[in-house]
Amino acid sequence: MALLCALALGACSSGTSVAPRSTASAASAASSAASHAASRSVSAAASPTPTGPRKGAGTPIHVSLYEGDGQTYGVAMPVIAYFSVAPTDASVFDKAVTVRVNGRPAAGAWYWERSAISSQAVEAHYRLASYWPAHSTVTVDMPIAGLWAGPGLVFDNSLTLSMKIGAAQVVKIDGQPDVDKMQVYSDGALVKTFDISLGAAQTPTYLGTAVVMSKSNPQLMTSTPGEAYYRIEVPWSVRVTYDGEFLHDAYWNGQLGQANLSHGCTNMAPADAEWYYNWSQIGDPVTWTNTGTSQVLPVTDGWGDWNLPFAQYAQGGLLPPPQAR
């Protein structure tokens, strides 16, 4: 889908150390007391000691996180970790990293994919089988500095994160012509219903669930090669994909709630777009049905994590966990 939107518009740190094994030797003793002491020393040396996570060496891999400490995100926000060099094995990472919700272990999974950030090689997203509980705290502990990331690879830093999850702000959009409605919910209660317009037949809006990624007021939208030139700044624009789908003000569209006319974006009336822009939070889910296509938003276009069944997501993407191989 081109970077297009709307009626002739486009846009649209320290690691865990391994305790050294103790050794002892006993020389021959002339007395029984000395022999007894030597025997105790040898016995202690033979006792096994716990070993920590596997250590790595070689090319360093630096890890960074999208989220910031103390920040608040929507219930669909995946934890996103970026890797400067691609690990070739995530088995040590999977065991070392812990995610908790309100202090309790989370039963989620990491999904590895090529990064959309040019300076990063890959990224890993973490989510649960369903959305985060509203009004919760999610903590991440990554004590991975010095740990193995595959042959000749080593993680070079450790990270922690504590982020807040806000209200369950969920948007459901029905694009059926003559319906074209957007319903906005907060913690299960219907808050607003808006008339909208989705992608026209030749440029349909994706099916499935996207996640609010960023907001711009205005957002510069330009034409792509092969179509009539335009360049316009569009007010109250909420981005949900990398390739240019937004929910935004479409003051030029006189058929909201009646027909789908856009280049893939969700067109809204100016007052409605302004309200949604101010109300929405990064990480909120938006789900589309009846868009006129069978094409579901790809998992890698923005944060399309919710368009894979959890059983498939838990296979790990580019780096499956050991049990999935």
> Would you give the DSSP letter of residue 140?
E
> What percent of the chain is modeled with pLDDT above 70?
83
With bands split at pLDDT 50, 70 and 90, how would you rate the model's confidence at 170? very high
Averaged pLDDT, 211-229: 88
Which pLDDT belongs to residue 325? Answer: 54
Terminal alpha carbon distance of the chain = 33
Tell me the pLDDT band of 52, cut-offs 50, 70 and 90. confident
pLDDT of residue 100: 98
pLDDT at 259: 94
Calculate what percentage of the chain has a pLDDT beyond 90: 77
* Sheet (strand 72-73) strand order: 72-73, 159-165, 137-142, 98-101, 104-105
Q: What per-residue confidence (pLDDT) applies to 323?
A: 65
Mean pLDDT estimate for the chain: 87
pLDDT at 313: 98
Residue of 209, 187, 182 whose CA lies nearest to 134: 187
- Spell out a b/e string for 166-176, using b for 16 or more CB atoms within 10 Å of the CB, else e: bbbbbbbbbbe
- Band (222; pLDDT cuts 50, 70, 90): confident
Tokens of 90: 């995530």
* Cβ-contact 68, 297 below 8 angstroms: no
Tell me the average pLDDT across 226-251. Answer: 92
pLDDT digits (tens, 9 = 90+) for 70-103: 999 999 999 999 999 999 999 999 999 999 999 9
What pLDDT score was predicted for residue 38? 39
Question: Residue 245: which of 227, 224, 266, 225 has the closest Cα?
Answer: 266
The DSSP symbol for 205 reads: P
pLDDT digits (tens, 9 = 90+) for 293-318: 999 999 999 999 999 999 999 999 99
- The residues, any chain, with a CB within 8 Å of residue 287's CB and separated by 6 or more, are 170, 171, 172, 173, 208, 209, 210
Which pLDDT value is given to residue 145? 98
Q: Residue 213: what are its φ and ψ, rounded to 5°?
A: -105, -40
- The b/e string for 189-227 (b: 16+ C-beta within 10 A; e otherwise) is eeeeebbbbbbbeebbbbbbbbbbbebbbebebebeeee
C-alpha 199/C-alpha 205 separation (Å) is 5
Q: Are 63 and 82 in contact (CB under 8 A)?
A: yes
Encoded tokens for 299: 């998992």
- In angstroms, rounded to a whole number, what is the distance separating the alpha carbons of residues 230 and 223? 5
Choose between 154 and 4: higher pLDDT: 154
Would you tell me how many other CB atoms lie within 10 Å of the CB of residue 151? 10
- CA distance linking residue 251 with residue 197, whole number of Å: 12
* Rounded CA separation 196/44 (Å): 74
What is Dmax (Cα atoms) for the chain?
104
Please answer whether residues 257 and 196 qualify as being in contact, where contact means their C-beta atoms are separated by less than 8 angstroms. Answer: yes
The string of DSSP letters for 87-138 reads: -S--HHHHHH-EEEETTEE---EEEEEE-SSTT-SEEEEEE-SSPPPTT-EE
Q: Which helix (H) or strand (E) segment is 38 a member of?
A: helix 32-46
98-131 pLDDT per residue, tens? 999 999 999 999 999 999 999 999 999 999 999 9
Sketch out the chain's domains with CATH numbers.
Answer: 59-166+310-324 (2.60.40.3710), 169-304 (2.40.440.10)
pTM for the whole structure = 0.84
